[in-house]
Structure 1
Amino acid sequence: MSVDQRGCGDPGATLHAVSSAVLAVTRHLSVHEVLQVIVRAAAQLLDARYAALGVPDDEGSFAEFVVEGVSDAEWEAIGPLPRQHGMLAAMLRDNEPKRLSDIRREPEFEGWPSAHPVLKDFLGVPIQDGEDVLGIIFLANKQNVPKGEGFTKSDEELLTLFAAHAAIAMTNARLYEHNRELTVVAERNRLARELHDAVAQKLFSLRLTAKAAAALAERDPARTVTELAQVERLAAEALAELRAVIFELRPADLVDGLAASLRKHAEVLDRAYDTAVRFAGDGAVALPEDQEAALFRIAQEALYNALRHSGAGVVEVRLKGDGERVVLEVADDGAGFDPAALNGGRGGRKDPWPSEPPPGGLGLASMHDRARSIGGVLSIDAAPGAGTVVRLEVPA
């Protein structure tokens, strides 16, 4: 229902409507989410059948164009993103609101693709940060009004007010994403320093020792054996340091999604260890950022345990979702263990942990805490000689 229908003469109702729309937008941090919520909130605020938000690029098109009221199939049938021509170009040029009773009668109108919905009454407002146009909100086909009537002057003022708040939300989201990018760079630099400090010195010593062994090979075989033993020790230490750094790797923003990040991590570990590390997952699984970060960390800890302690030939990471829940499993075919030894005697195969973190090592307490922090249920399916499955179930 539009603000006019709720009573444009009621300032309290209008303020509440705008406040609700603004709060819906500011709860989100990623730029794409903010754009989607702006469009949805604007359509609901003014009871429009169709809504869109275009973010212009520097090449005569739009970097993003988010719509409301058009299905995915309809949007695909419409075709590529629109270019800056017709009414879109006019709005970008003039930087001012446009309210039209029938967009099809305007001189700037140049038609639509055949699959495009038919638009009539139209309201467009720029989203500006100072003189810069961040985007344009478009509304069309106002609903639940007498035939022939469309958007009003009050609607235009209301959408202009909302656009000012939307500009703040878009700017904040862009700053947040930029900060995340800087965090990724800082993390890479830190890891580069750690690799240099932890591994470079051992590799240098390894090279010198190998040279000494080669020089002694003919005239002092006994000394050569000692030097080669030192080479083996240094190589093992360097590999251990490298593996420790690999286990600290984490996607600072999981920008590619949880499934892609787990797949990449499994591939890295598969190359670093003799154990085969595999991933089988649903790329469509999507959770809030804090939940995805927790799932990644739990998978990382479970992988560390399996590779260090199980003696497994194969470790598999599995990720799947059914719309109601997301399930993460890290399974190995290694030596297994008795969960009762870590759960105060409660034991038994497939033993869910209690409300309090379990005692013992292997990072189980931290895994339990992470799971509990996101409303998940963590369980262990293990027995001596029969491998281990760490299972985390989170509501979708």
Structure 2
Amino acid sequence: MQQNGNAVLHHPSGRRFSDLQVALVLDDCAQTLRTGRAITVDEADGAARRTVDQRVGLLVDQPAMAQASALLFETVAIVLRDVIGTDSDSAALRGEALLTLYRSVHARWQLHTRQHASLLATVQKVAEAKRHTLARDVHDRVGNNISLAMRQLELYALSFGEEPTQEQRTVLNARDTLIGTLLQLRELITWLHDPRTDGNLRAGIETFVEAMQMPEVRLAIDVDGDESLVDPEILEELFLVLRECLLNALVHAQAGALTVRVNFEEDEVTASVEDDGVGFDVHEASVARRGHGLISMTERVTQLGGRFQLTSRPGSGTRASLWIPLPGAVRDA
């Protein structure tokens, strides 16, 4: 088993801990052979907890742990058969020993799984906190300076005549560049915050728009139906598509109002995002493969078996519509 541990574990301390666990499982089996009584579930769980090492959750992945547990169980079961024998008089003792073996291994497997999940959650929380700190620093130290410079240029531009000079046009270009940079910065901050649905689509959308820091844009959200009907994976994909639609509207459309509608039914989900912005030529953008995330959004919805449609024209705003069938739904031809 120690030789197999080298293939299963990725750190010397993890291998030593594995050897210790194997020895303790064998001690449990030996105790059963001496007493003729299988250890209880509580005894197995207590023994596992007394020998736990939280570092192992990071050193051993789940498939490797399963492989090692299965190999240990098989090896010890074969040895027990050889030691105890197969006659009827030994059947009861062999059964008790196998029960002890199962409970001892299973208790350690369960404890490892819980600790692995706990460690993973801790790592995710730390990473999330770091992202939020970075987002706050970028906003406070960079975003505010860009906003201040942009406002100063806007105030200066108020003194320009109807026909600005070449130097004044240079100032206007610099102002426009700062506006574009600020929008890109807001997109980066939003990505760092990484808002998710967390089982509440409306809250996820509101959090995303709030993170974009564009209070001048009016947002209306209409969510109808029970979103618990939708698998979390599908709900997350739906949120990502809607977020991309909103991002395009906020960054590119110069929209004053956004309307999001989502309808959950037993066999399908329909949704739309509509803005009153400047609009664009959908065909031209698709051919030129410019911005708007049209290809990405279409691929996400198509992979779910649904349909995505984008309608827009210059000066008339944009409407994105999608339909996603739920598992078990009858799809039209």
TM-score by length of structure 2 reads 0.52
Alignment of 1:269-348 (within 5 A): 269=212, 272-281=214-223, 284=228, 287-288=231-232, 291-334=234-277, 336-337=279-280, 339-342=282-285
8 A contact 2:275–2:319 mirrored in 1:
yes
Q: Rate the CA distance shift 1:261–1:208 in 2: closer, same or farther, 3 A.
A: closer
More helix as a share of residues: 2
- Paired amino acid for 2:105: L
Q: Give the aligned partner of residue 382 of structure 1.
A: 311
TM-score by length of structure 1 reads 0.45
Deviation at residue 179 of structure 1 after TM alignment: 1.9
Deviation at residue 192 of structure 1 after TM alignment: 3.0
Deviation at residue 272 of structure 1 after TM alignment: 0.7
Mapped to 1, the partners of 2:294 and 2:214 lie a distance apart of 24
Deviation at residue 395 of structure 1 after TM alignment: 3.8
Of the candidates 199, 213, 216, which is equivalent to residue 257 of structure 1?
199
Deviation at residue 256 of structure 1 after TM alignment: 2.9
Please list the CA deviations of residues 343-364 of structure 1 after superposition, one character each: whole Å capped at 9, or x if unmatched.
66xxxxxxxxxxxxx9444221
- Paired amino acid for 1:194: V
8 A contact 1:266–1:279 mirrored in 2:
no
Instruction: Count residues with an aligned counterpart.
Output: 236
More strand as a share of residues: 1
Listed as ranges, the gaps of 5+ residues in structure 1 are: 1-94, 100-123, 135-151, 214-220, 345-357
RMSD (CA atoms): 4.8
Deviation at residue 334 of structure 1 after TM alignment: 4.4
Q: Give the aligned partner of residue 185 of structure 1.
A: 129
SS at match of 2:196: coil
- Paired amino acid for 2:260: V
8 A contact 1:329–1:392 mirrored in 2:
no
Q: Rate the CA distance shift 1:98–1:304 in 2: closer, same or farther, 3 A.
A: closer
Mapped to 1, the partners of 2:281 and 2:229 lie a distance apart of 32
Q: Rate the CA distance shift 1:159–1:324 in 2: closer, same or farther, 3 A.
A: farther
Mapped to 2, the partners of 1:386 and 1:207 lie a distance apart of 27
Of the candidates 243, 249, 253, which is equivalent to residue 183 of structure 2?
243
Mapped to 1, the partners of 2:291 and 2:142 lie a distance apart of 25
8 A contact 2:230–2:326 mirrored in 1:
no
Q: Rate the CA distance shift 1:279–1:130 in 2: closer, same or farther, 3 A.
A: farther
Q: Give the aligned partner of residue 202 of structure 1.
A: 146
Tell whether 2:324 aligns with 1:393: yes
Mapped to 1, the partners of 2:40 and 2:53 lie a distance apart of 10
Deviation at residue 234 of structure 1 after TM alignment: 7.9
SS at match of 2:228: coil
Listed as ranges, the gaps of 5+ residues in structure 2 are: 1-38, 55-94, 328-333
Q: Rate the CA distance shift 1:256–1:238 in 2: closer, same or farther, 3 A.
A: farther
